[in-house]
Amino acid sequence: MTAGSAAPSDGATVVVDYGNMLTGVLPSGGTDPERLVGEGDVARRFEAAFREVEDGRRSGEMGFFALPFDREAEARAREAARGVVGCDALVVIGIGGSALGAKALGGALLSPFRNELDAAPPDHGGERGDAQRSGPRLYVLDNPDPATASALLTRLDLRRTALNVVSKSGSTAETMANFMVAWDRLKRAAGEDAPRRLVVTTGRGGPLRRLAEELGTRCLSVPENVGGRFSALSAVGLMPAAAAGIDTGALLGGAADMVRRCESPVLRENPAGMVAALLHAADAEAGAGIHVLMPYGDRLRWLAAWFQQLWAESLGKARDRTGAIVETGPTPLPALGANDQHSVLQLLMEGPRDKAVVFVACRDPGEDVAVPRLFGDDPAVSYLGGSTLFQLLDGERRATADALRRAGRMNMTLTADRLDARSLGALIMLFQIAVVYAGALYGVDPLDQPGVELSKKLARELIARPAEARSRIPPPDPRWQV
């Protein structure tokens, strides 16, 4: 293992390169690598965090660790997917953790314009690259935005559409409102066939469970000990992924590998531990409390949005584990390379030193596009001819990481072998494990989200009892408007 890289010897799918977080590699600042090994304080602190998480894992509190090994749940999700695979479209209706997993998986692992492709004939023998799609078009309806819901539901042929409503609680207002709209229309279009085109993914109780029982429709379970933002590898993410033809076995296999790689209390051997320990140190010791996740490549855009929820909802807490007020937590900032080199990079390079950047890279892009040799007389652009789009994208990432390093700005890079189901499973699991370690390091409970309850309650009152709610939520005061 080289200094500054949590590279496994067994050809694992994701390598964490943290050199650019370290004193000595950076011209100033960073964490002294001596602190990461042996009796070093960061190593010791991590070991304590690791033990705390292991206790949570053993007690069953952290159910997400077990998901990659639950092949029965995978089989049930695949079985439900088979029931909708012949449909023209599958609309996943959920929000937050009940939507972002499907978005991250679909975004990363399906062809970017897959929804525009024609369906392959039933006996086609597999998806044909970018030419045809097997399985339904995949849409995710999360925000209760009338423009989106109306445009989508009007565009789809509802006689050939399936719905997957996803809500662990079964009572989330946005999800249930979107579902009520979509289900009503689907019933009218599909008639008696409608219940066969509905898959409910929910927790033990709640209105959705009851509805599924009444209709006799397929119902998948979200395990009680798996919270929304940790549910991408449960039925929540697996059913739509399987319906769209994603290899869920490989996805879980990559996640299982990552669980095993993170079974060591030795920081230098634990990739999720290194991510958590260095980002926590960056925040706690150097004031770098803004954690930028910047994947290079459009397909990982939704992974950054998923990470944002995972990091923010798990770590932003008013109270620590003892109940003391701490109002702590890093601010996750999703970005996209290379696009955001033309928007946020200036700030990352020269603004306040309150950020640490985590790049996500891919070693093998799978496909590449050659740039033709044009504009031979113009040195401003002729150097591009003969290269490839991936060489440019990846070269920009490496150049940006090094430019930040030279400016003394902390950054690390997670490199996936290739952008496939195995690597994505590994990346998702790496971040999930990292966030529970980070929870222990920040001293907070990473599994709850008490802060989102008040606005939910107030919104519910506004809709259900508008007159009463008006007296409790003051209307805008014209004195303070311009």
- List contacts with ligand PA5 (CB under 6 A): 95-98, 167-169, 172, 175, 227-229, 313, 449
Nearer to ligand PA5, 131 or 318 (CB): 318
Report the residue number, 427 or 435, with the smaller CB distance to ligand PA5: 435
Minimum CB distance to ligand PA5, residue 63 (Å) = 13
Shortest reach from residue 310's CB to ligand PA5, in Å: 8
Q: Which is nearer to ligand PA5, 63 or 227 (CB)?
A: 227
Distance (Å, whole) CA 113 – CA 111 = 6
DSSP conformation class of 411: E
Distance separating alpha carbons of residues 403 and 31, to the nearest angstrom: 18
Nearer Cβ to ligand PA5, position 174 or 257? 174
Shortest distance in whole angstroms from residue 208 CB to ligand PA5: 9
| Cβ–Cβ under 8 Å, residues 433 and 271 | no
Nearer of residues 20 and 167 to ligand PA5, judged by Cβ: 167
For the chain, the farthest-separated pair of C-alpha atoms sits apart, in whole angstroms, at 72
Kindly state the smallest distance separating residue 200's Cβ from ligand PA5, in Å. Answer: 12
Smallest separation, CB 236 to ligand PA5 (Å): 8
3-state secondary structure 283-314: HHHHCCCEEEEEEECHHHHHHHHHHHHHHHHH
Query: What are the backbone dihedrals phi and psi of residue 326, each rounded to the nearest 5 degrees, phi first?
Result: -125, -25
Which of the residues 39, 214, 327, 342 is marked catalytic?
342
Please state, in angstroms and rounded to a whole number, the distance separating the CA atoms of residues 96 and 317: 18
Tell me, yes or no, if 280 is annotated catalytic. Answer: no
Measured from each CB, the residue nearest to ligand PA5 is 228
Catalytic annotation, pick one of 213, 456, 457, 468: 456
Shortest distance, position 206 Cβ to ligand PA5, whole Å: 8
* Cα separation, 406 vs 391, whole angstroms: 22
The question of whether 291 is a catalytic residue gets the answer no
Residue with tokens 């399985």: 135
Q: Can you tell me whether residue 130 is helix, strand or coil?
A: coil
Angle of the 173-190 helix axis to the 146-155 helix axis, nearest 10: 20
Beta-bridged to residue 413, according to DSSP, are 17, 359
Q: For residues 78 and 239, what is the distance between their CA atoms, to the nearest angstrom?
A: 6
Q: Kindly state the smallest distance separating residue 416's Cβ from ligand PA5, in Å.
A: 24
Nearest to 263 by CA among 24, 478, 11, 57: 57
- Copy the structure tokens of residue 394: 């990846």
Q: CB-wise, 227 or 273, nearer to ligand PA5?
A: 227
Least distance in Å: CB of 381 to ligand PA5? Answer: 45
Least Cβ distance, residue 448 to ligand PA5 (angstroms): 9
Per annotation, catalytic residue among 168, 313, 317, 355: 313
Amino acid at 451: G
The DSSP element (H or E) to which 132 belongs, if any, is: strand 132-133
Buried b (16+ CB within 10 A) or exposed e, 292-315: bbbbbbebbbbbbbbbbbbbbbbb
Nearer residue to ligand PA5 within complex by CB, 21 or 304:
304
Contact of 134 with 88, CB cutoff 8 Å: no
Q: What are the Cα distances from residue 318, in Å, to 19, 284, 324, 334, 444?
A: 32, 16, 8, 23, 9
Select from 217, 162, 166 the least CA-distant residue to 195.
Answer: 217
Cα–Cα distances in angstroms (integers) from residue 66 to residues 46, 160, 306, 436, 438, in the given order: 22, 35, 20, 14, 19
Q: Which is nearer to ligand PA5, 46 or 307 (CB)?
A: 307
Q: Where are the alpha helices (DSSP H) in 116-270?
A: 146-155, 173-190, 207-215, 235-243, 248-261
Write the DSSP assignment of 384-407 as a string of letters: TTTSBHHHHHHHHHHHHHHHHHHT
Q: How far is CA 24 from CA 21, 32, 404, in A?
A: 9, 8, 14
Q: For this structure, is 313 an active site residue?
A: yes
Closer to ligand PA5 at the Cβ: 29 or 206? 206
Q: Which residues participate in catalysis according to the annotation?
A: 313, 342, 456
